[in-house]
Structure 1
Amino acid sequence: MNDIVDRYVATWNSTSREERDGQLAEHWSSDVTYVDPLADVRGHAELSELIDGVREQFPTFTFSPLGEVDAHHQQARFRWALGPADGEPLVVGFDVIVLDDDGRIRDVRGFLDKVPA
Structure 2
Amino acid sequence: MTAPQPGQAGPLTAQQANPLGQLNQVTRLVTTLLSAWNESDPGRRTDVLETCCAPEISYVNPISAAQGPAAVADLIGAINTQFPGIAPHRTSGIDFHHTHARFSWVMRDRAGQELLAGFDIVTLTPDQARIASVVTFFGPLPPATVTYTYEMR
Smaller-chain TM-score range?
0.7 to 0.9
Percent identity over paired residues:
29
The aligned amino acid for 2:138 is L
Q: Deviations over 1:57-101 (max 9, x none)?
A: 121222210111111122210011111355331011110001112
How is 1:59-70 mapped onto 2 (pairs within 5 angstroms)? 59-70=84-95
* Amino acid aligned to 1:112: F
Q: 1:112 aligns with which of 124, 127, 138?
A: 138
Bigger relative contact order, structure 1 or 2 (CA pairs below 8 A, ≥6 apart): 1
Q: Which residue of 1 aligns with 2:98?
A: 73
Structure 1: any 5+ residue segments left out of the alignment?
Answer: none
Opposite residue 76 of structure 2, the aligned amino acid is I
Larger radius of gyration: 2
- Report the RMSD for the aligned CA atoms in angstroms: 1.6
Secondary structure, counterpart of 1:67 in structure 2: coil
Letter in 1 for 2:134: V
Give 2:49's aligned residue.
24
Q: 1:105 is aligned with what amino acid?
A: I
Equivalent-residue separation in structure 2 for 1:56 and 1:85 (angstroms): 13
Partner residue in 2 for 1:53: 78
User: What is the TM-score with the length of structure 1 in the denominator?
Assistant: 0.87
| TM-score relative to the length of structure 2 | 0.68
Letter in 2 for 1:58: F
Spell out structure 1 runs of 4+ moving beyond 2 A: 84-88
Distance in 2 separating the partners of 1:47 and 1:87 = 24
The count of residues paired between Structure 1 and Structure 2 equals 114
Structure 2: state its 5+ residue gaps.
1-25, 141-153
Of Structure 1 and Structure 2, which has the larger fraction of its residues in strand? Answer: 1
Give the letter for the 2:58 counterpart. Answer: T
